Amino acid sequence: MNKRSVHLPVGAGLAALLLATGAVSCGKGQEADKSPAMTPAAAVAKAAKHSEQLTSMHYRVSGRVPQEGRVEADAGLRLKPDMAMSMKVSVPSLGSDATAEVRLVGKAMYINAGEEASKELDGKTWMKLDMSGTDAGKQLDRLGAASQAEQNPAAQSTLLTGADEVKKVGTDTVDGVRTTHYEGTVDIDTLDKSLKKESRLTAEERRKAVEQYRTMGVDELTMDMWIDGSDHTKRFRIRGDADEGPLDLTITFLDYNKPVKVTAPPAGETTDLAEMMKELQAG
């Protein structure tokens, strides 16, 4: 993908990720402050608990990431009964054609980097990478950290529970939804140690996020969370200083627990990247 290689934002996934039991709406028409006696820390913890029980989500990402600069993405992520993801991402700072589409189907990741990339793939528009193989997984990371698509953005939003102090900023309307805005600072080392207290599944999801930030050289995160009247996270923002530049991403959740259908691209339009790498190495 040459210099147009795209570092996928919070996703698969992260995304990550990406929130609650039976939540199928974003809480429109409900008051954000229906529990005025609840402390900021308790409100964030309640939203985090809801996030852990989601089965699917659609979300929008915008902001800046190290190296690439500004990024924009729209994604759908299914967590149960099996994981699947579809994400379209663009990097305006690299030009109007710096776009990519990524799909996760079973153990395979499919990447469509556009017409320019297809010229190097014998006219095929999709690259397939089987993530079940160790070598393939390493190649995936080299393709611009596409493995981030496996991260759950909902799990990343729960990192604010690791802040030493959470404060209420005020109330805002996000995509027509009344929300309460909270903010806090999270130390990566402290957060890493606190994972031992979490449930196995929650700790595993959060550990992926923590490792991502640690690899980027981020020591501390400033996090904002907007919680709707149903105690679900409607939006969250993550800011930090990485080794190769500033990180500032905002993730807005469009819906929860609604169907997310992802299909593999036609075989005739797909190049197996692992096989291509083998041929290059053999040559």
The number of distinct structural domains making up the chain is 1
Q: Answer whether 18's CB lies under 8 Å from 155's CB.
A: yes
What CATH number does the domain containing 153 carry?
Answer: 2.50.20.20
Q: What is the pLDDT of residue 180?
A: 97
Using one digit for the tens of pLDDT, what is the confidence trace for 248-277?
999 999 998 999 999 999 988 888 877 777
- Tell me the mean pLDDT in the region 226-249: 93
Q: Is the whole model's pTM more than 0.85, yes or no?
A: no
What does the pLDDT look like over 174-196, one tens digit per residue?
A: 999 999 999 999 898 887 776 65
Helix/strand/coil percent split, the chain, to 5: 30, 35, 35
| Token pair for 87 | 């994400």
Residue with the larger pLDDT of the pair 24 and 64: 64
**Residue among 204, 33, 238, 6 nearest 102 (CA):** 6
For residue 221, the enclosing domain spans: 2-282
